[in-house]
Amino acid sequence: MCRCKKKKAPVTVVEAIPVQEPKDYVVNCPKCGAALKIKDGGSFAYMCPVCNTLLRVKTGVKYIKDVDTGDKSMHVAITATAAAYIADLGAQGKSVHLESLIAQQIAGGYSPTDSYVVDLGAYGLVVRKA
């Protein structure tokens, strides 16, 4: 009988990964419009139960173009004569849509360094680059 001391193996703790249930999706048939329930991870081709059309379903990751989250602000100034004109129109119960005036001016493109001035011209309010 051997009285050798056996070394104990180090204990390794492993966390269990939760099992994810396959998701169910509803896809409409392009031919008849019938709803077809499909499961995530299933096959890529399905048969419509109504019109027997073969449906091909793409699975996988869809990459979306990154949207620029940079500064979208711009500098707009209103002259004293334009402000007085807007105040007079407000006293008469009329409204001025400065957003549409500015949008028309910058429709051709602008850079964040551009500045615009709302001024009173011969035919009403005018927006111009400063």
Per residue in 18-33, pLDDT (tens digit) is 776 767 778 888 888 8
- In this predicted structure, the answer to whether residue 77 has a pLDDT above a threshold of 80 is yes
- In this predicted structure, the answer to whether residue 43 has a pLDDT above a threshold of 80 is no
Contact 30, 53 (CB under 8 A): yes
Give the pLDDT of residue 46: 83
Mean pLDDT along residues 107-120: 75
Give the pLDDT of residue 61: 67
What predicted TM-score, i.e. pTM, was given to this entire model?
A: 0.40
What average pLDDT does the structure give for the chain?
Answer: 77
- In this predicted structure, the answer to whether residue 1 has a pLDDT above a threshold of 60 is no
What's the pLDDT band for 66 if we cut at 50, 70, 90? low
Reported in sequence order, the residue ranges of the chain that DSSP labels E, i.e. its strands, are: 24-28, 35-39, 45-47, 54-56, 75-78, 115-121, 124-129
- In this predicted structure, the answer to whether residue 41 has a pLDDT above a threshold of 70 is no
Closest residue by Cα to residue 59 from 45, 80, 69: 45
Q: How far is CA 120 from CA 104, 111, 117, in A?
A: 16, 24, 10
Measure the CA–CA gap between 38 and 46, rounded to whole angstroms: 8
Give the pLDDT of residue 26: 81
- In this predicted structure, the answer to whether residue 71 has a pLDDT above a threshold of 70 is no
Contact 23, 40 (CB under 8 A): yes
Mean pLDDT along residues 40-48: 76
Measure the CA–CA gap between 128 and 124, rounded to whole angstroms: 13
User: Helices (H) and strands (E) in the chain — how many of each?
Assistant: 2, 7
